[in-house]
Chain A
């Protein structure tokens, strides 16, 4: 239970930080912000890897974890690459 309170503490602070930082992103970049968020929501990959790496006797959980790894990896790889591709298109006037 104590660890739960600790984790909640982190959560509350992170929410405030998130609103502070992200409200400064200009609307010009809101689409890459969203695809970048997709990549970061793929952070579940950490939990997925731990589950997929479970050993003998936990085959079902490991298999479910493996599928989760695939989904999370699509987000991480797809999200970062497409954001990079998009941001590469934003150019200043060359003068």
Chain B
């Protein structure tokens, strides 16, 4: 019997190795797919090994759970459009939390008599898992723009309520862990679960829609921490290693997103950003110079290098395919075309890259902000489509601007800037953009897709 256990635990070590190698292979687009496959094989091996443990004797619930989960998971994976990826990841964060919290509950129900430290770990797993679940459901609803407003929901005494809730949860934890066999233990853990659910809602609901990339990154990390905590309950190294990897990944992405938005994590989590009144920025000098598509065409036609800066406005008007067509038309004309991707260009980390890849834009044309900025002086035309704050030079030049210090794509350093925009509206931050008033800037007003189509037609007619 012991031999079987040792063998199965060796399988877990192999699974952990595949997860780590999988993440390593994710470091390059050429090997990423293999990495994902390898990691999946490791997971399958862990599942099979677990089923062979002698204490697994009942199969009805296992089969039902596996079948239901696999069907729902596959439907999600194939039905979700790429624009809906933030919602899907958001929801899966929550499900990961749910699975961990249920594992904690099952352990408690099966073995009510637990030493103090195990009681604490069960409580901690329930807490993290539940907060992840309810927080993710709110983040999902905000991203779906259904059920609840995407704007920050603020109410008086917000922080006090959260602190009181946390104190009650903490008290419940001490009560529960001190004697897990007490007749009230089940009710106490139930109350902790309910309070943690409310806490998760209250933590996410004051955060505005624009900050959701940070929130889902953070919840991604929480789902890993929940898995990690449940690994302590069943004393399984695989869960601890895998959970720690996911936890680390979520934290890294959270920090990247915060840096790109010029905010601290505390500011996002406690802030209720989007409800603030932005500070006073310097007055903008200069005038708007609108152009028609045929004039914009002449500028692009003469350019030898073009950088396109896409923002989420591009995805909103479903113009990814049109922009790829324009790219091909310009390349046929002998122009070098690259895309400059700001970290917060989409609605989650890396989102814009996926949206453009889906439209068949080759990934070697997608350049990170830090790589493109040093080359900006040599660029003939920088074309901005549906982006605003991420190219606002006030972030570099105007200390009184709320955007001051935010890393931007330095579009203004290109010889000519063409801005495609629906109207003169302001960005998420509600800040005027002096770029639009510069001498080297031309504004091409209208729907992004229609403007792109007009440019493509000009190129086709021109040849």
Contacts and interface: CB of A to CB of B under 8 A. Distances in A.
B26 A47 contact: no
B245 interface: yes
A55 B256 CA distance: 47
Given A15-B244, A19-B252, A43-B239, A53 B58 contact: yes
A15 B39 CA distance: 18
Contacts of A25: 23, 26-27
A74 B238 contact: no
Interface string B217-254: 10010011011101111111111111111111111110
Interface string B376-394: 0000000000000000000
B462 interface: no
Contacts of B65: 48, 52, 65-70, 73
B350 A53 contact: no
A72 B182 CA distance: 30
A37 B224 contact: yes
A3 B249 CA distance: 26
A41 B364 contact: no
Interface in B161-219: 216-217
A43 B33 contact: no
Interface residue range, chain A? 35 or more
**Residue of A37, A76, A87, A89 with most partner-chain B CB within 10 A:** A37
A66 B46 CA distance: 17
Contacts of B147: none
A75 B103 contact: no
B78 interface: yes
B268 interface: no
A48 B102 contact: yes
Interface of B: 12, 19-20, 22-24, 26-30, 32-33, 36-37, 39-40, 43, 46-47, 50-51, 53, 55-62, 64-66, 68-70, 72-74, 76-78, 80, 82, 85, 88-89, 92-93, 95-96, 98-100, 102-103, 105-107, 109-110, 117, 216-217, 220, 223-224, 226-228, 230-253, 256, 341, 343, 346, 348-351, 353-354, 357-358, 360, 362-366, 368
Interface of A: 1, 3-4, 7, 10-11, 14-15, 17-19, 21-55, 58, 60-94
14 contacts: A22-B249, A27-B256, A28-B350, A31-B354, A39-B40, A41-B220, A41-B242, A44-B226, A47-B233, A50-B234, A66-B65, A70-B72, A77-B77, A78-B77
